[in-house]
Amino acid sequence: MRLTPATELEYRCKKLQALMQTADLDAVLIVQNADLYYFTGTVQNGCLYVPAQGQPLYLVRRDQARARMESGLKEVLSFSAPRDIPAIISSYGYPEPKRIGLEFDVLPVVFLERYRKVWPNVVFSDATPLIRQVRMIKSHYEIHLMQDAADQVHKIYERAKEVIKVGMTDIELAAELEYTARKHGHLGLIRMRVFNGEMFFGHTFSGTDSAVPAYTDTPFGGLGASPCFGQGAGHKPIGPNEPIIMDFAGSIDGYLVDQTRIFSIGPLSARLTQGFEDMLKVQELMKEIAVPGISWGEIYDRCHGLAMELGYADSFMGAPSSQVSFIGHGLGIEIDEYPFIAKGFKDQVMEIGMAWAFEPKVVFPGEGAVGIENTFYLSNDGLKQLTRSDDALVIL
């Protein structure tokens, strides 16, 4: 367990304040857990008032003592309700805000209504793009945590090789991997920013079930064990000569990596084997072209183009009618951060400090799915790979 250094928090806040000035915001009020963790170093019941200039004020309802202990911020203050905030700001000598940015992509409507009562003359706008821009550039500290998460997921991968047996069900395998993860410090929680985003460690499934589409915005879906959570592992027994997918998010101190590997008891069909090899080629292309300055959309277009050339129009990134329009996604505290290696996005470019998972995959309904996923980082010295398990198909 590490506490986020105060210098990290200061730097993050200053980056946000610089963007706020460009966006003409007097303040940003942060309330969502992932953003609070990023900007305060802890998650308490409260909110962070970031003025355009000066120290941010961490207003904490519960728990005060833990906020003081765990957060490196200078100003941790008590409050009981949003109506207290104007007086606190004023007593702190900060000007009355006229324009406040909020996390409109995650903030429920009732919260905005409450803030409108507190500040009837304030113009509220969406600060999410600014927050996401700050968070998309990882510090060395953050990359170290992700490196540890990659070590954790490698241990789970090694365990998978030991436990996979014919006849065990997907959910039994998932339970073994989750158990291993927890014993290696995984916090359990996978934070996902998108509304209704739900994930439990990742997706572990085999054969035909690996090719079942789901409601999730992911190339693989899975049948799941119930319509109430119809993704991931279900009760299908694992057989020989079928792909067994371990798409697993490692997590250390709230930082995630994403890794997918394919196992099989005995060899796979020629089509699946070829599909897997071809996805490695798509990964190689991304590694070549992901340099600072290339747009997220261009990486997508070129890698998608290669997959089309290789003959995967109907299977790349999902079963027909369920194909997703991305190949990679940024990650850190949440599994769906900037950058999006996705269709469109021609104006956003790769920058040093970005971290993302890249997951070229093919899905053949009625047979199974294969592909690869690793987590990468654009360092001063070029592209680095964080996840480190051997890419190769594991034939058991």
Q: How far apart are CA 157 and CA 179, in angstroms?
A: 12
User: Quick one: which of 133, 118, 134, 178 has its CA closest to 152?
Assistant: 178
User: Quick one: which of 34, 27, 21 has its CA closest to 88?
Assistant: 27
Give the DSSP H or E segment for 356. strand 355-358
Instruction: Give me the residues that bind its own copies (CB under 8 A), please.
Output: 1, 3-4, 31-33, 37, 41-46, 62-66, 70-71, 102, 104-113, 126, 171-172, 174-176, 178-179, 182-183, 185, 187-189, 195-196, 198, 200-201, 212-217, 221, 224-230, 235, 253-254, 321-322, 333
Nearer to its own copies, 142 or 242 (CB): 142
DSSP classification of residue 349 = B
User: From the CB of 179, what's the least distance to its own copies, in Å?
Assistant: 4
Q: Counting every residue, how long is the chain?
A: 396
User: From the CB of 238, what's the least distance to its own copies, in Å?
Assistant: 15
Beta strand 57-62 with 75-78 is parallel
User: From the CB of 209, what's the least distance to its own copies, in Å?
Assistant: 13
> Identity (one letter) of the amino acid at 344?
G
User: From the CB of 130, what's the least distance to its own copies, in Å?
Assistant: 15
Q: How far apart are CA 160 and CA 165, in angstroms?
A: 10
CA dihedral 168, 174, 175, 177 (to 10 degrees): 110
Cis peptide before 227 (omega within 30 of 0): no
Nearer to its own copies, 32 or 264 (CB): 32
Structure tokens at 161: 């090789």
Distance of CA 200 to the CA centre of its chain: 13
- How many Cβ atoms are within 10 Å of 7's Cβ, its own excluded? 11
Nearer to its own copies, 53 or 325 (CB): 325
Question: What residues are paired with 329 via a beta bridge?
Answer: 340, 357
Nearer to its own copies, 158 or 277 (CB): 158
